[in-house]
């Protein structure tokens, strides 16, 4: 009997213990951990996203380039929309057609009949004033605050890029993004997206059984504030950029200006261009389609970093430096100007390197290239040419040519410097030698460079043999530029060889008979080289590359004007005006400026026979 009595107490004890466990668990759930409560209440809560302000972009002098303007998305909860909605009147408020209304509403219903989604996006603050005052008449519709990008001046569109709505692919690749988010689509906006975008916040409201907002939930304890994106200080000079775009109006081509001592890009102009404000707000999609379909001008194409041209006579500078470094020539080597083997211009006959650069002598640099390619390392002419081309190409690529400069913007082309594999594929193994490829000697043939690479070459010459990778951003928030932009990149040429080239470049601009006299300034010694890039059927491209001042240069520049002819006629004076604007802050040669402003090369012109 006592045995069963003891069992009874054990059972009682177990029951009490189980009861205490249940009571403790209920106390934890209801008092300490409110996640179950929140889950139950979730059906009665409204979570509203608070979008952060995107980081502001400044120029190198602290001038605002890109900032934010208040805008609104018109949200809708389809279930709450009045069945007797006066559609035509509502469409009149928004300025949309009835067909647009039907399409937008159907899309929102497909998303959810009970949850809010964007009916009309990116409504400017000015337009929202008139819309918001009438929304009380239309249940189910309400505004959600956003921001739009705004531009201080209508310039630098291809550099800055634009912002657009995150695609399904964007959302799948990065869990940060949700439907309705915006992100950088091109230019600096996409390259520095993670710095600019900031962090979302949230505001939690409670609603009643009729889906009406009843105020903040739990006095805002679950709310979080948005965190603004980091500001960027760019390397651009806003007013130099504006001036460059003014000079390039009615022209196809580009201007790239770099500070040699840092690699900072001062201006990057691609023309024709467009006003960046066109790709903001409700009209963005329509405007983008119009820009993209303009095949004749192609304003979305960034010629400064994407277009690949033959370098023309400017490449002779690289050719001469390689010749000095490999000792196939010296400073006093004279070469006859044999015009029977390749055309040339001017009255020179037997130049040394200085004179050959000043007069842009084709036969001189053809012979230098021949000595480089056929150096006599092998008795077989084809083996010798393959070896020589490999050595030559290694020197050329050390100047940043034929390689993609790791600039902080997407879409940079690497140009083209031919190698042995290319010619073997083109002509067959053993089917080519110097006589097949000699056009490379004067920057024609298969050579291809971008304007960015040409401006960087000018910086290399100004620095006497090295460059910093060209880049657009000086600082991100309170941090400086990326580490790789602080490192010098050296060419394979000894710095002592650059001085004769620089003296010759000064003569090209400043001495009588130089091909770039139109670039000359009285107060500043500009060192430069003209180029006339050949086109078979249309006028040649006008090209000029320069740096200034001669000693301790502050600006290096390359200008391309497509189908404009001789480099000294158009590209050289444009460069000179840009240099004057940057170094002095004003233009004291109004006649020279007006001549450039009046020029229109969008109108076809006849092919010229002017010299290079």
d(CA 454, CA 558): 6
pLDDT the model gives residue 562: 93
Query: Burial, 185: exposed, middle or buried (Cβ in 10 Å; 0-12, 13-18, 19+)?
Result: buried
Largest Cα–Cα distance of the chain, in whole Å?
134
Which residues lie closer than 8 Å to 27 by C-beta, 6 or more apart? none
The Cα 520–Cα 573 span in angstroms is 8
Non-local CB neighbours of 202 within 8 Å, separated by 6+ positions: 47, 48, 49, 50, 222, 223, 224
- Angle at Cα 226 formed by Cα 221 and Cα 227, nearest 5°? 130
pLDDT of residue 611: 42
Which of 373, 431, 45 lies closest to 223 in space, CA to CA? 45
What pLDDT does 4 receive? 55
Taking the CB of residue 31, how many other CB atoms lie within 10 A of it?
9
Q: What is the per-residue pLDDT for 223? A: 84
Q: Using CB atoms within 10 A of its CB, is residue 18 exposed (0-12), middle (13-18) or buried (19+)?
A: exposed
Of 228, 233, 281, whose CA–CA distance to 54 is shortest?
Answer: 228
Structure tokens at 187: 């230019």
Domain 51-195+224-233 has CATH 3.90.1310.10: yes
Q: Which two tokens stand for residue 66?
A: 């890109």
Distance CA 83, CA 549 (A): 73
Ordered mean pLDDT values, 10 residues apiece, the chain (612 residues): 60 74 66 52 69 95 95 90 91 92 93 88 87 89 89 96 91 89 93 94 75 68 89 98 97 97 98 92 84 84 94 95 97 94 88 93 96 94 95 98 95 96 90 93 94 98 98 94 93 97 95 86 94 78 95 97 90 96 95 95 61 46
pLDDT for 508 equals 94
Encoded tokens for 479:
């941090």
Look at residues 303, 272, 299 and name the one whose alpha carbon lies nearest to residue 288: 299
pTM value surpassing 0.75:
yes
Q: How confident is the model at residue 2, as a pLDDT?
A: 56
Q: Under a CB-based contact definition with an 8 Å cutoff, are residues 213 and 205 in contact?
A: yes
Spacing of C-alpha 146 from chain mean position? 25
User: Does a cis peptide bond (omega within 30 degrees of 0) precede residue 443?
Assistant: no
Sheet with strand 253-259: strands edge to edge = 264-271, 253-259, 555-561, 541-548, 527-533
Q: Check: CB of residue 92 under 8 Å from CB of residue 51.
A: no
pLDDT the model gives residue 610: 46
Please enumerate in sequence order all residues whose Cβ is within 8 A of that of 148, keeping only pairs 6 or more positions apart, or say none.
Answer: 68, 69, 70, 71, 122, 124, 280, 281
Query: Is residue 119 helix, strand or coil?
Result: strand
Range list of H helices, 151-217:
157-160, 168-173, 187-191, 193-196
Q: Domain 238-273+302-598 is classified in which CATH homologous superfamily? A: DD-peptidase/beta-lactamase superfamily (3.40.710.10)
Q: Where are the domains of the chain?
A: 51-195+224-233, 238-273+302-598
* Cβ contacts of 284 within 8 Å, gap of 6 or more: 122, 162, 164, 278
* Distance of alpha carbon 15 from alpha carbon 24, whole angstroms: 14
């Amino acid at each position: 009997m006592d045995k069963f009595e003891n069992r009874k107490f054990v059972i009682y004890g177990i029951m009490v213990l189980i009861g205490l466990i249940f009571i403790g668990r209920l106390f934890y759930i209801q008092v300490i951990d409110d996640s179950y409560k929140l889950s139950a209440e979730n059906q009665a809560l409204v979570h509203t996203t608070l979008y952060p302000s995107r980081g502001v972009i400044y120029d190198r002098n602290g001038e605002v380039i890109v900032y934010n303007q208040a805008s609104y998305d018109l949200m809708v909860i389809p279930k709450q929309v009045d069945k007797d909605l006066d559609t035509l009147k509502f469409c009149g408020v928004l300025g949309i057609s009835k067909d647009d209304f039907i399409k937008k509403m159907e899309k929102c219903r497909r998303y959810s009949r009970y949850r809010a989604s964007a009916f009309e996006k990116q409504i400017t603050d000015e337009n929202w004033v008139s819309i918001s005052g009438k929304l009380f008449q239309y249940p189910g519709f309400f505004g959600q605050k956003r921001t739009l990008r705004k531009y201080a001046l209508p310039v630098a569109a291809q550099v800055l890029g634009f912002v657009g709505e995150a695609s399904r692919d964007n959302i799948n690749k990065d869990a940060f993004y949700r439907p309705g988010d915006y992100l950088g689509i091109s230019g600096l906006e996409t390259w520095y997206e993670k710095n600019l975008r900031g962090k979302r916040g949230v505001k939690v409201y409670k609603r009643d059984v009729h889906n009406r907002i009843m105020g903040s939930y739990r006095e805002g304890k679950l709310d979080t504030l948005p965190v603004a994106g980091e500001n960027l200080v760019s390397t651009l000079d806003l007013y130099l950029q504006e001036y460059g775009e003014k000079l390039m109006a009615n022209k196809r081509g580009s201007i790239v200006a770099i500070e040699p001592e840092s690699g900072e890009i001062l201006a990057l102009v691609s023309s024709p261009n467009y006003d960046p404000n066109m790709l903001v707000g409700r009209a963005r999609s329509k405007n983008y389609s119009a820009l993209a379909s303009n095949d004749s001008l192609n304003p979305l194409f960034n010629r400064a970093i994407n277009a690949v041209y033959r370098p023309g006579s400017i490449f002779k500078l690289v050719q001469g430096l390689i010749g000095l470094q490999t000792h196939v020539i010296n400073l006093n080597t004279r070469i006859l100007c044999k015009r029977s083997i390749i055309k040339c211009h001017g009255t020179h006959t037997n130049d040394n390197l200085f004179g050959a650069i000043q007069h842009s002598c084709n036969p001189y640099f053809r012979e230098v290239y021949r000595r480089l390619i056929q150096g006599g390392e092998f008795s077989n002419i084809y083996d010798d040419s393959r070896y020589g081309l490999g050595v030559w190409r290694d020197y050329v690529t050390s100047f940043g040519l034929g390689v993609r400069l790791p600039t902080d913007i997407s879409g940079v082309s690497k140009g083209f410097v031919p190698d042995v594999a290319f010619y073997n594929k083109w002509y067959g193994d053993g089917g080519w030698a110097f006589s097949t490829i000699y056009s490379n000697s004067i920057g024609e043939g298969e050579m291809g460079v971008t304007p960015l690479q040409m401006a960087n070459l000018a910086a290399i010459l100004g620095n006497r043999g090295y460059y910093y990778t060209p880049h657009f951003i000086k600082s991100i928030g309170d941090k400086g530029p990326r580490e790789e932009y602080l490192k010098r990149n050296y060419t394979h040429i000894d710095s002592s060889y650059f001085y004769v080239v620089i003296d010759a470049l000064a003569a090209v601009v400043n001495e009588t008979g130089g091909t770039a006299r139109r670039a000359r300034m009285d107060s500043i010694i500009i060192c430069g080289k003209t180029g006339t890039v050949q086109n078979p059927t249309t006028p040649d491209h006008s090209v000029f590359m320069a740096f200034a001042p001669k000693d301790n240069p502050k600006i290096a520049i390359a200008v391309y004007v497509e189908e404009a002819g001789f480099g000294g006629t158009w590209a050289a004076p444009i460069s000179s005006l840009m240099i004057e604007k940057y170094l002095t802050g004003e233009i004291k040669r109004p006649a020279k400026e007006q001549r450039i402003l009046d020029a229109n090369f969008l109108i076809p012109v006849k092919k010229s026979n002017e010299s290079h």
